[in-house]
Amino acid sequence: MLKEKFVDYIRFERRFSGHTITAYQHDLQQFADYLAFQYNLQDISLANHSMIRSWLVSLLSDKMTSRSVNRKLSTLKSFYRFCKKQGIISENPMSRIVSLKTSVKLPAFLEKESTEKLVSMVSSSDGFEHLRDAMIVLMFYTTGMRLSELCSLTHQSVDISKQTVRVHGKRNKERIIPLGSPLLNLLEKYLDAKKEYLKSYSIPNKTESLFVTTKGKPVYQRLVYEIVHSNLSGVSTLEKLSPHLLRHTFATQMLNEGADLNAIKEILGHASLAATQVYTHNTIEKLKSIYNQAHPRA
């Protein structure tokens, strides 16, 4: 089927992440269901721009945000480009569809005082499970890596002598991130505790994964999310206490301390500088706040 061929294309040729592939599949199925119900059309490659616009209107009527609608538009753009490339269609219906305007949403981040409290709280950890949780939290905060990237780390990912970690990001792009001495010291402590724990409970060490569960299996995203959420809840009252919050915090604090924007871009693994520049807005907002509080004519 056409949809399956498209999924193979974005998985093997474009090397999209598993999360993106799942989102694209959901979007296409949602669009297909709409066409079947509204127009009795079973082949989505035959949809025209009017049908696509009609779907967008229905999404907005259901109170979907412009940002979410634009993500679905991105799915359709990729799909119909694929159809055109394969010679399935002669005209791309998306050529007459314009993305919706969206407001820039500034990424939330932890204040320096909160991160200092967090680091102090987890750095005193002891025992395999607590050391693992501390390493996970600090790895996010000190490298800015993504949730999926952390879960895929292996022992070979870390080069202790060079003080670096090798990360495989979106579309399998590889990047190398420096690691500080405090984190490496905690890492060595964690690895010793992990080895002793697995040995004492006779758990076979069959995985190369850097972070493992209490059963010796690779950590999974839900578990890591819960670990981060639990630790962050002790230092912050922000609404979404996630690994991505630590990624935003890493980037914002780096920028506030004078780091070069291009360097931050490379560490985060952004495809373009535009994705990194959103963090400059946080810095500008901070400057405005200081100005309004301190200047007599503000």
Catalytic residue among 72, 132, 247, 248, which?
A: 247
Task: List strand residue ranges (DSSP E) for the chain, in order.
Answer: 158-159, 164-168, 174-178
How far from the centroid of its chain's Cα atoms is residue 38's Cα? 35
Q: Is 270 among the residues known to form the active site?
A: yes
Q: Is 168 part of the annotated catalytic residue set?
A: no
Q: Which of 34, 80, 197, 279 is catalytic?
A: 279
Task: Decide if 146 is catalytic.
Answer: yes
Helix (H, G, I), strand (E, B) or coil at 295: coil
Strands 158-159 and 164-168: antiparallel
- Across 245-283, b (16+ Cβ under 10 Å) vs e yields bbbbbbbbbbbeeeeeeeebbebbbbeeeeebebbeebe
In the residue annotation, 248 being an active-site residue is answered as: no
Catalytically annotated residue among 72, 132, 146, 248: 146
Shortest CA distance to 43 belongs to which of 76, 10, 3, 11? 3
Q: Which of 3, 11, 130, 270 is catalytic?
A: 270
- Active-site residue, from 49, 170, 175, 189: 170
Q: Which candidate, 167, 120, 121, 117, places its Cα nearest to that of 145?
A: 167
Q: One of 71, 229, 244, 281 is an active-site residue; which one?
A: 244
Q: Which of 167, 170, 150 is nearest to 23 (CA)?
A: 170
Residues annotated as catalytic are 146, 170, 244, 247, 270, 279
